[in-house]
Amino acid sequence: MKICIYIPTASFFVGGGETVPLTQARYLADIGYNVRVAVLRVNRESDYFQDFKTKYPYIEYDYLESPIPDIENNNLDHKLGQLLYLKLNSQAYEYFKMQNFNLVLTHYSAAAISVPNSIPQILYLHGVPENSEPQSRAACEIAGRLVAVSQSVADGWKKLISPDLDITVIRNGIDENVFKPDPDITKDIDILYIGRLIEIKGVQFLIQAVKTLTTQTEYAQVRVEISGDGPYKAKLQELVSELHLESQVHLGGYIVNSLLPNLYHRSHLAVFPSYAKEGVLTTLLEAAASGCCLISSDCCGMKEFIVDDQNGLLFPPQNSGRLAQCLRRAFSDSLLQNRLGMAARQEVLKNWTWNKSISKLDQLIKQFSV
């Protein structure tokens, strides 16, 4: 069976919407599918993409010409992403017709309209749009099957488009052999955040919570590592300066994938303060598999993984006061940290590995070949 994974941005941008499709390509190829990944040809590919191609040379790629010059040097937000897919529409449509694919997997609603109706399509829904855009409705009508990465994402689309939407939930997975505890590495980071620096990620509330925490002498020297990049970084840096937290909070920028396991190993707590649109964060799963103590907003898909006080701590979204309470509780109880971290790892092994995710996707794909 010849499958195309259509994710143009994967050659230059690194986010869950790009790393998940690439990982799918790897696992689907491993179980015998003929997989090709369609991406943009750019002047500067991301380190992640280059590393992925080196590690898995058996994955094949088709390169589409970018309709937006130097797109890899632009801030790829939702608006630019929509424009990119719109401008790619005719080129992608002709590409699909020529390749004779048996199935196309798309990972962005705007991508779905580029696939000819004659080719079966599975559209992955990674998050929930802010409003019901015409292209979102069109994508749901065009795609042969809709897959959501969490129940909250599925519910969000049904609320937005129609309660009658037929959506299969297939959770993203994590490689439990790459992300695993390492007790030999010293934990020198108190609080870790990894992810895009955009407003809905809620990092501003983490910084405010840290300010509250540091008013107590025993937490005055707490070390916070914020790893990631994005358009909100300058405002976060301003907030750090305004609150006089320069010696506690470090905005370290983008971290290459190969360094992520070590970063988790060095961290006592991993915090996820998002407050809108998210599924279950890949970084949350990575931290959980690594045995970190998780603290997350009680929002979106995160509560599908975390059960409060069983494998992590939850706080109301956009509530820095309650987040500070969770941080204080975790810091004051090392046994609690260890218990929650081990329980998070066990939850990954039970329900969130890539083998389990791909097995469900494989069953769905087989429905197109009968």
> In this structure, is residue 116 part of a structural domain?
yes
For residue 212, give the amino acid letter: T
Decide if 307 contacts 346 (C-beta within 8 A).
no
Domain total of the chain:
2
Q: Do 256 and 303 reside in the same domain of the chain?
A: yes
Q: Do 32 and 132 reside in the same domain of the chain?
A: yes
Q: Do 341 and 241 reside in the same domain of the chain?
A: yes
% of residues, the chain, pLDDT over 70: 99
Query: What's the CA gap between 331 and 269, in Å, rounded?
Result: 9
CATH number of domain containing 287: 3.40.50.2000
Q: Do 306 and 359 reside in the same domain of the chain?
A: no
Statement: residue 256 has pLDDT above 90? no
Q: Do 223 and 164 reside in the same domain of the chain?
A: no
Q: Do 135 and 201 reside in the same domain of the chain?
A: no
Statement: residue 369 has pLDDT above 70? no
Question: Which is more confident, 124 or 131?
Answer: 124
Q: Do 321 and 359 reside in the same domain of the chain?
A: no
Q: Do 6 and 153 reside in the same domain of the chain?
A: yes
Rounded to the nearest integer, the mean pLDDT of the chain is: 93
Statement: residue 26 has pLDDT above 60? yes
Average pLDDT over every residue of 46-59: 93
Query: What's the CA gap between 362 and 370, in Å, rounded?
Result: 13
> In this structure, is residue 8 part of a structural domain?
yes
> In this structure, is residue 335 part of a structural domain?
yes
> In this structure, is residue 12 part of a structural domain?
yes
> Which residues, in sequence order, are bridge partners of residue 251?
226
Statement: residue 84 has pLDDT above 70? yes
- The range of the structural domain enclosing residue 283 comes to 189-351
Strand stretches in the chain, DSSP E:
2-6, 34-41, 60-65, 103-106, 121-125, 145-148, 167-169, 189-194, 224-227, 249-253, 267-272, 293-297, 313-315
Q: Do 62 and 165 reside in the same domain of the chain?
A: yes
Name the nearest CA neighbour of 5 among 121, 150, 138, 137.
121
Q: Do 362 and 340 reside in the same domain of the chain?
A: no
> In this structure, is residue 314 part of a structural domain?
yes
pTM of the entire structure? 0.83
CA angle 139, 231, 88 (to 5 degrees): 35
> In this structure, is residue 183 part of a structural domain?
no
Three-state secondary-structure class, residue 312: strand
> In this structure, is residue 179 part of a structural domain?
no
| DSSP state letters, 51-103 | HHHHH-TT-EEEEEEPSSTTGGGS---HHHHHHHHHHHHHHHHHHHHHHT-SE
Q: Do 110 and 258 reside in the same domain of the chain?
A: no
Q: Do 168 and 220 reside in the same domain of the chain?
A: no
When mean pLDDT is compared across 276-285, 320-329, 357-366, the lowest value belongs to 276-285
The structure tokens 């790619």 sit at 88
% of residues, the chain, pLDDT over 90: 79
Query: What's the CA gap between 321 and 318, in Å, rounded?
Result: 9
Decide if 283 contacts 352 (C-beta within 8 A).
no
> In this structure, is residue 293 part of a structural domain?
yes
